[in-house]
Amino acid sequence: MIKTSNQIVFFGSGPVAEKSLEFLSNHFSIEAVITKPIQTNSRDKAPVIDLARRLNLSVFTPKNKIELDKLINKNDFSAQLGVLIDYGIIVTQKVIDNFKLGILNSHFSLLPVLRGPDPISFAILNGLDTSGVSLMLIDSGVDEGKLIAQEQLKIQGLTNIELTNQLISLSNAMLEKSIPKYISGELIPYSQSTTIKPTFSRKLSKQDGIIDWNKSADEIEREIRAYISWPKSYTDIFGVSVIITKAVVCDLDGKAGEIDYDKNSMNIKCSKNSLDIINLKPAGRNEMTISSFISGYKN
């Protein structure tokens, strides 16, 4: 596809950023890529760095907001607009002011709903029926900037992985359509709704993944879908540490944590209702059906 003449500086670090950068590079001129550096002695991958190098793009890797400020002061970028997706470093007003049109963030929620670092997981955890993408000009607040576009999609029943992929596709389509219009002045930024009460997400921890059977079956089922990538949903069954990867809510009641099973099925009671376990992954093993697990581990 022919690129537009619009030029941007891209800020991003994670796997979502990688997919977005790959798309944007086919539609816009990328003056530079600013991303996190590769961590010494870390197993973490650097997908944005790897992609930028394959695309022969200029790459800068400040490790914190102080180094980012210095980078912006030192380099006279000609792009009027920055685009930030899944970056992970605080961007100061000094950096924002370097771009005549500001820095556009693609935030994966319908702002002001679920401001903060993990709106995808918390959309599922909160049992929302819809999520979406907000194209927002970042400011000194936490996801409080003005919007240039916002679109929604239905999320009921999706896992974190499925929802993330759908949101990336929606974000890419919105960026392709909106960036040229914003640069040309056709889109005027507007304030976030004041009639909707802001809500917030937070960073998840490993501890969040430990299943508490004293919660309701609905809550735990949402956790399993929300935590499918990380931190995952852990419990012990037959004395074996397992990750539950798929379950469905059942209206059977009983003592929280109580397990009923036969050779083909397993039901675990919660504080309200229960879960029929469909798939799980024992420690050190591949994901398997519950019937395979029962056959191999019940004794």
43: Cβ contacts below 8 Å, ≥ 6 apart: none
Both tokens of residue 236? 């012990």
Q: What amino acid occupies position 278?
A: I
What pLDDT was estimated at residue 45?
A: 75
**How is residue 214 annotated by DSSP?**
T
Least confident of 26-35, 39-48, 51-60, 145-154: 39-48
User: Which of residues 299 and 47 earns the better pLDDT score?
Assistant: 47
What pLDDT was estimated at residue 4?
A: 53
Q: What is the overall mean pLDDT for the chain?
A: 95
Residue 299: pLDDT over 80 = no
**How is residue 64 annotated by DSSP?**
S
145: Cβ contacts below 8 Å, ≥ 6 apart: 105, 136, 137, 138, 139, 192
What pLDDT was estimated at residue 6?
A: 81
In the predicted model, what is the mean pLDDT of residues 149-174?
97
What pLDDT was estimated at residue 5?
A: 60
Domains of the chain by range and CATH?
7-184 (3.40.50.170), 206-297 (3.10.25.10)
Gap between the Cα atoms of 60 and 32, Å rounded: 7
Q: Where are the beta strands (DSSP E) in 68-185?
A: 81-84, 103-107, 130-137, 147-154
> What residue has token string 């397993």?
266
pLDDT bin (cut points 50, 70, 90) of residue 2 is: very low
- Whether residue 119 has a cis bond before it, omega within 30° of 0: no
Residue 42: pLDDT over 70 = no
- Model confidence pLDDT, tens digit, residues 208-219: 999 999 999 999
pTM of the model as a whole = 0.94
- Model confidence pLDDT, tens digit, residues 71-89: 999 998 999 999 999 999 9
Gap between the Cα atoms of 226 and 27, Å rounded: 32
Are 179 and 28 contacting, i.e. CB atoms less than 8 angstroms apart?
yes
